[in-house]
Amino acid sequence: MTGPLEGVLVVDFSTLLPGPMASLLLAEAGAEVVKIERPGSGDEMRGYAPHWGAESVNFALLNRGKKSLALDLKDEAGRKRLEPLIARADVLIEQFRPGVMARLGLDYEAVRAVNPGLVYCSITGYGQHGPKRDAAGHDLNYIGDTGLLSLSPGDAETPVVPPVLIADLAGGAYPAVMNILLALRERERSGTGTRLDIAMTDNLFPLMYWALGNAFGHDAWPVPGGELVTGGSPRYRLYPTADGRLVAAAPLEDRFWASFAKAIGLDEELRDDRSAPEATAARVAEIIAARPASHWEDVLAAADCCATVVRTVREALDDPHFRARGLFQAGLVNEDGETIPALPVPIVPELRAGGADPRQAPALGADNADSDP
């Protein structure tokens, strides 16, 4: 199938993660995506380790199925080459600091003059206006500035760095796609495009809905690591096993908690965790620590109580469940003919373009020779 976004042209100036992930999702749904890259070096992600073939495996995962134009945007000839592409584009994605596109003559007002139907999506850390709009930052700064990092930071001696780039993905790429699709739908009605200001920090606050609700409604501000879903309850914690693995225990509802407590043999007087939650948690930790992960895997699976042994990434890839769902069947191929699974993306198979055929990320400037890329 061709995909629901067949015929949609996306011109993508972004690099690294948020914008490229957003345009990857659009490409998976059938859009034609043309990356605009710096001559000589291209997207910074191309140089990231580890390499797979000539370039970064991360670049290959995020940029499969796209085209590449290497243009010097500070050069008039480069900008001239870009003009016909901008004129017929449906979507433009950029990820520069505010003001950079204006200095290049590619700000929204300038491109709208030649293409009033363009959906112009800007992804930044702090947005296009506000006191922090020009501040440098990365994911850790964004989740730190919004308070998200404070909710479960680990202890002071061994603070925990989250394993996921939350702001880039949940605050940047996914909201960008959502708003691009909404803007395209609105354009069908109005005939005009729009400017989308995607601020990654803004979009982190909905992830803390429960913390905001407690604060707004009851003036109860969250205690770091001390709330229901951040480790403050025996019912939502990580418990080490005898062999150094972890049990992810999340039996929040009473029926699951009762099953969990019975399965592990928790003392009757500690099963009502409301009276002495820390005493209950300490005893659960002691019980779990007495047996290896293999024991708890069998016991907890039989109890079906929202408690599982934490998997390594390798174990997760071998899980029969994910294999049965076909997450890692699509092929990615490099210039040497080597193949690896493509990155699973949150587009259901029925709406993807191209099926599971192997596809490549573009070589830098691969489409420069095309007279109409």
Is 0.75 surpassed by the pTM of this model? yes
Which residues form the domain of 283? 237-317
Domain match, 86 and 175 both: yes
Q: Is 364 a member of any domain?
A: no
How many CB atoms within 10 Å of residue 66?
24
Q: Identify the active-site residue in 72, 138, 243, 318.
A: 138
Structural domain count, the chain: 2
pLDDT at 354: 56
Same-domain pairing of 41 and 121: yes
Q: Is the residue at 157 inside a domain?
A: yes
- Name the β-bridge partners of 76: none
Q: Is residue 24 part of a domain?
A: yes
Catalytic residue among 43, 107, 139, 168: 168
| Shared domain check, 166 and 268 | no
For 328-343, write each residue's pLDDT tens digit: 876 899 999 999 999 9
Q: Do residues 69 and 18 both lie within one domain?
A: yes
Specify whether 147 is located in the same domain as 21.
yes
Residue 1 in domain = no
Residue 219 lies in a domain: no
Beta carbons of 222 and 151 less than 8 angstroms apart: yes
Same domain, yes or no, for 183 and 303? Answer: no
pLDDT tens digit string along 266-313?
999 999 999 999 999 999 999 999 999 999 999 999 999 999 999 999
User: What's the CATH code of the domain at 143?
Assistant: 3.40.50.10540
Q: Structure tokens of 180?
A: 């691009």
What are the CA-CA distances from residue 338 to residues 333, 359, 360 (Å)?
A: 5, 11, 11
pLDDT 10s digits, 126-177 = 999 999 999 999 999 999 999 999 999 988 889 999 999 999 999 999 999 9
Q: Is 168 a catalytic residue?
A: yes
212 in a structural domain:
no
Our CA dihedral for 19, 25, 26, 32, rounded to 10 degrees, sits at: 90
138 is catalytic: yes
Residue 287 shares a structural domain with residue 312: yes
Pair 171, 278 in one domain: no
Peptide bond into 50 cis (omega under 30): yes
